[in-house]
């Protein structure tokens, strides 16, 4: 069908508009927030504009390694969201006391379905390494938290392999962050790649003006 829309670009998609909106006229999200189903952490606490979030939640805040050949709602959602021109921040959050991490450490028995899900997250080795040789023993909260942080960083690495994030992060205009929330202390840390460690979060992480 012929259209009289005066657009010089050959693309049918409006891109790079300062306020790009969806089909209902709402502004497209600026933040992709990935977290565990169990997490009591509200993503809205960490972003400047709570109505600009796309959320992905699953048990264990797992990011499947990018693979366009398998059927996965999470992969499709993340891949799609990364194409949105307004997106400025990608945040993945983990938490203490996570059932998924407890299962990775053999501290909790789970269903075969859950075991397979954890397997594809690729963090079993990193989580177990974080607690050393004490697998099978009863682990204290500190050891479990160390494993949960290692698990989170593995998911962050998985995320970094998605189109647009794997190299150059869309020309440097997309920020990728990892948050860890400790329910015991009520505190939230942010991962600092420069220091390769977690530091206390003192500010909003996403959607704020640069
Ligand atoms: Zn969890």
Instruction: Report d(CA 57, CA 33) in Å as an integer.
Output: 8
- Tell me, what CATH number does 57's domain have? 3.40.1050.10
Residue 38 inside a domain? The answer is yes
3-state DSSP assignment of residue 195: coil
The answer to whether 34 and 91 have CB atoms below 8 angstroms apart is yes
Ligand 1 ion: Cβ-proximal residues, 5 Å cutoff = 36, 38, 98
- What pLDDT score was predicted for residue 209? 43
Residue 3 placed within a domain: no
**In this predicted structure, what is the pLDDT of residue 164?**
83
Q: Judge whether residue 206 has pLDDT over 70.
A: no
pLDDT at 2: 44
Please indicate, yes or no, if residue 21 is contained in any of the structural domains. no
Cα(126)–Cα(108) distance, integer angstroms? 17
Ligand 1 centroid–CA 81 distance in Å is 23
Task: Flag whether 4 is in a domain.
Answer: no
- For residue 102, report the distance from its CA to the centre of ligand 1, in Å: 9
How do residues 185-204 score in pLDDT, each as one tens digit? 889 999 998 899 999 998 77
pLDDT digits (tens, 9 = 90+) for 104-143: 988 888 999 999 999 989 898 898 888 886 666 788 888 8
Name the domain count of the chain. Answer: 1
The domain in which residue 50 lies consists of 31-200
């Amino acid at each position: 069908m012929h259209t009289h829309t005066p657009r010089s670009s050959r693309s049918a998609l409006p891109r790079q508009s300062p306020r790009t909106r969806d089909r209902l006229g709402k502004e497209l999200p600026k933040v992709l927030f990935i977290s565990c189903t169990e997490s009591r952490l509200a993503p809205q606490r960490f972003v400047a504009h709570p109505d600009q979030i796309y959320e992905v939640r699953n048990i264990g805040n797992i990011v499947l390694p990018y693979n366009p050949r398998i059927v996965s709602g999470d992969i499709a959602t993340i891949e799609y969201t990364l194409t949105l021109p307004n997106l400025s921040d990608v945040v993945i959050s983990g938490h203490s006391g996570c059932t998924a991490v407890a299962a990775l450490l053999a501290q909790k028995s789970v269903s075969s379905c859950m075991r397979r899900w954890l397997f594809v997250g690729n963090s079993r080795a990193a989580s177990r390494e974080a607690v050393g040789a004490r697998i099978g023993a009863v682990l204290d909260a500190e050891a479990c938290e160390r494993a949960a942080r290692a698990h989170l960083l593995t998911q962050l690495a998985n995320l970094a392999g998605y189109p647009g994030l794997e190299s150059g992060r869309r020309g440097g205009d997309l920020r990728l962050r990892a948050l860890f929330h400790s329910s015991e202390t009520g505190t939230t840390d942010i991962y600092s790649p420069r220091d390769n460690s977690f530091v206390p979060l003192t500010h909003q992480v996403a959607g704020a003006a640069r």
